Amino acid sequence: MKPTILILAAGAALLHAPLHAQPPGPPPHDPMAMFDADRDGNISLAELRDGSARLFSAIDANGDGRITRDEMGAHHEKLMAGHGGPMGPPPPGAPHPPRFEDLDSDHDGAVTLAEFRQHLEQHFAMIDANHDGVLSHDELEAAHRAMHPPRP
Protein backbone atom coordinates (compact mmCIF):
# COMPACT_ATOMS: atom_id res chain seq x y z
CA MET A 1 0.00 0.00 0.00
CA LYS A 2 1.21 3.49 -0.68
CA PRO A 3 1.58 6.01 2.13
CA THR A 4 -1.01 8.22 0.46
CA ILE A 5 -3.94 5.93 1.24
CA LEU A 6 -6.47 6.53 3.93
CA ILE A 7 -9.03 4.26 5.42
CA LEU A 8 -9.79 2.66 5.51
CA ALA A 9 -6.66 2.46 5.55
CA ALA A 10 -8.35 5.26 5.53
CA GLY A 11 -9.42 2.58 6.28
CA ALA A 12 -10.15 3.27 4.76
CA ALA A 13 -9.47 2.41 3.80
CA LEU A 14 -10.90 1.56 5.77
CA LEU A 15 -13.58 -0.74 4.75
CA HIS A 16 -10.91 -2.69 2.89
CA ALA A 17 -8.90 -3.01 6.09
CA PRO A 18 -7.11 -6.30 6.59
CA LEU A 19 -8.81 -8.77 8.87
CA HIS A 20 -5.95 -11.27 9.04
CA ALA A 21 -4.27 -12.54 12.23
CA GLN A 22 -3.24 -9.76 14.57
CA PRO A 23 -1.95 -9.50 18.12
CA PRO A 24 -4.66 -9.88 20.81
CA GLY A 25 -7.37 -7.24 20.62
CA PRO A 26 -8.93 -5.62 17.57
CA PRO A 27 -6.58 -4.46 14.83
CA PRO A 28 -6.07 -0.68 14.89
CA HIS A 29 -8.12 -0.29 11.70
CA ASP A 30 -10.57 -3.17 12.00
CA PRO A 31 -13.79 -1.88 10.41
CA MET A 32 -16.00 -3.56 13.00
CA ALA A 33 -14.07 -2.03 15.90
CA MET A 34 -14.02 1.38 14.20
CA PHE A 35 -17.57 1.63 12.93
CA ASP A 36 -19.90 -0.90 14.63
CA ALA A 37 -20.97 1.38 17.48
CA ASP A 38 -23.82 -0.82 18.71
CA ARG A 39 -21.67 -3.99 18.43
CA ASP A 40 -24.36 -5.91 16.56
CA GLY A 41 -21.86 -7.31 14.06
CA ASN A 42 -23.05 -5.03 11.24
CA ILE A 43 -22.13 -1.55 10.05
CA SER A 44 -25.06 0.67 9.12
CA LEU A 45 -24.72 3.75 6.96
CA ALA A 46 -25.34 5.91 10.05
CA GLU A 47 -22.53 4.09 11.89
CA LEU A 48 -20.26 4.59 8.88
CA ARG A 49 -20.98 8.32 8.88
CA ASP A 50 -20.34 8.65 12.63
CA GLY A 51 -17.20 6.52 12.44
CA SER A 52 -15.91 8.43 9.43
CA ALA A 53 -16.04 11.65 11.45
CA ARG A 54 -13.99 10.04 14.25
CA LEU A 55 -11.48 8.59 11.78
CA PHE A 56 -11.23 11.89 9.93
CA SER A 57 -10.45 13.66 13.21
CA ALA A 58 -7.76 11.10 14.02
CA ILE A 59 -6.08 11.70 10.65
CA ASP A 60 -6.49 15.50 10.76
CA ALA A 61 -3.53 16.00 13.11
CA ASN A 62 -3.75 19.79 13.31
CA GLY A 63 -7.56 19.82 13.64
CA ASP A 64 -8.13 22.33 10.85
CA GLY A 65 -10.88 20.29 9.18
CA ARG A 66 -8.70 19.38 6.21
CA ILE A 67 -6.49 16.34 5.73
CA THR A 68 -3.28 17.04 3.86
CA ARG A 69 -1.13 14.55 2.01
CA ASP A 70 1.39 14.74 4.89
CA GLU A 71 -1.27 14.00 7.51
CA MET A 72 -2.52 11.08 5.45
CA GLY A 73 1.01 9.74 5.11
CA ALA A 74 1.70 10.10 8.83
CA HIS A 75 -1.51 8.27 9.70
CA HIS A 76 -0.69 5.49 7.25
CA GLU A 77 2.82 5.13 8.70
CA LYS A 78 1.33 4.84 12.19
CA LEU A 79 -1.01 2.07 11.00
CA MET A 80 1.79 0.22 9.24
CA ALA A 81 3.98 0.40 12.35
CA GLY A 82 1.25 -1.52 14.18
CA HIS A 83 1.27 -4.08 11.37
CA GLY A 84 4.98 -4.74 11.63
CA GLY A 85 5.83 -2.98 8.39
CA PRO A 86 4.64 -2.52 4.85
CA MET A 87 2.17 -5.05 3.51
CA GLY A 88 3.17 -4.55 -0.10
CA PRO A 89 0.97 -3.61 -3.02
CA PRO A 90 -2.28 -5.46 -3.70
CA PRO A 91 -1.98 -8.25 -6.24
CA PRO A 92 -2.66 -7.47 -9.92
CA GLY A 93 -6.37 -7.13 -10.63
CA ALA A 94 -7.28 -6.51 -6.98
CA PRO A 95 -9.05 -3.28 -6.03
CA HIS A 96 -6.52 -0.76 -4.80
CA PRO A 97 -6.82 1.41 -1.70
CA PRO A 98 -7.72 5.00 -2.44
CA ARG A 99 -4.96 7.38 -3.37
CA PHE A 100 -4.93 10.86 -1.91
CA GLU A 101 -5.91 12.17 -5.34
CA ASP A 102 -8.98 9.91 -5.31
CA LEU A 103 -10.13 11.35 -1.99
CA ASP A 104 -9.40 14.98 -2.92
CA SER A 105 -12.26 15.24 -5.39
CA ASP A 106 -11.99 19.01 -5.87
CA HIS A 107 -8.18 18.78 -6.29
CA ASP A 108 -7.42 21.61 -3.86
CA GLY A 109 -4.66 19.73 -2.05
CA ALA A 110 -6.71 18.73 0.98
CA VAL A 111 -9.50 16.30 1.85
CA THR A 112 -12.53 17.61 3.70
CA LEU A 113 -14.88 15.53 5.83
CA ALA A 114 -17.46 15.73 3.03
CA GLU A 115 -14.98 14.35 0.48
CA PHE A 116 -13.85 11.68 2.93
CA ARG A 117 -17.43 10.58 3.67
CA GLN A 118 -18.38 10.58 0.00
CA HIS A 119 -15.55 8.17 -0.78
CA LEU A 120 -16.42 5.86 2.14
CA GLU A 121 -20.10 5.87 1.23
CA GLN A 122 -19.28 4.91 -2.36
CA HIS A 123 -17.26 1.95 -1.09
CA PHE A 124 -20.02 1.10 1.36
CA ALA A 125 -22.45 0.83 -1.56
CA MET A 126 -20.04 -1.41 -3.50
CA ILE A 127 -19.44 -3.75 -0.55
CA ASP A 128 -23.15 -3.96 0.39
CA ALA A 129 -23.74 -6.97 -1.86
CA ASN A 130 -27.38 -7.52 -0.90
CA HIS A 131 -28.16 -3.76 -0.95
CA ASP A 132 -29.81 -3.80 2.48
CA GLY A 133 -28.02 -0.68 3.72
CA VAL A 134 -25.93 -2.66 6.20
CA LEU A 135 -22.48 -4.20 5.91
CA SER A 136 -22.28 -7.60 7.52
CA HIS A 137 -19.12 -9.35 8.62
CA ASP A 138 -19.54 -11.69 5.61
CA GLU A 139 -19.71 -8.76 3.18
CA LEU A 140 -16.59 -7.21 4.72
CA GLU A 141 -14.78 -10.55 4.55
CA ALA A 142 -15.76 -10.95 0.89
CA ALA A 143 -14.44 -7.45 0.12
CA HIS A 144 -11.24 -8.25 1.98
CA ARG A 145 -10.78 -11.51 0.06
CA ALA A 146 -11.35 -9.68 -3.23
CA MET A 147 -8.64 -7.18 -2.34
CA HIS A 148 -6.23 -9.66 -0.76
CA PRO A 149 -6.58 -13.00 -2.54
CA PRO A 150 -4.46 -15.86 -1.16
CA ARG A 151 -0.94 -15.78 -2.50
CA PRO A 152 0.57 -18.93 -3.94
| Cβ–Cβ under 8 Å, residues 56 and 64 | no
Is the per-residue pLDDT at 70 higher than 90?
yes
| Cβ–Cβ under 8 Å, residues 11 and 29 | yes
The answer to which of 22-31, 49-58, 110-119 has the lowest mean pLDDT is 22-31
Q: Can you give the pTM of this predicted structure? A: 0.69
| Cβ–Cβ under 8 Å, residues 60 and 71 | yes
Is the per-residue pLDDT at 21 higher than 50?
no
Is the per-residue pLDDT at 92 higher than 60?
no
Q: How many residues would you count in the chain? A: 152
| Cβ–Cβ under 8 Å, residues 138 and 130 | no
Task: Please give the average per-residue pLDDT across 46-71, as a whole number.
Answer: 94
Q: Rounded to an integer, what distance in angstroms lies between the CA atom of residue 127 and that of residue 26?
A: 21
Is the per-residue pLDDT at 77 higher than 70?
yes
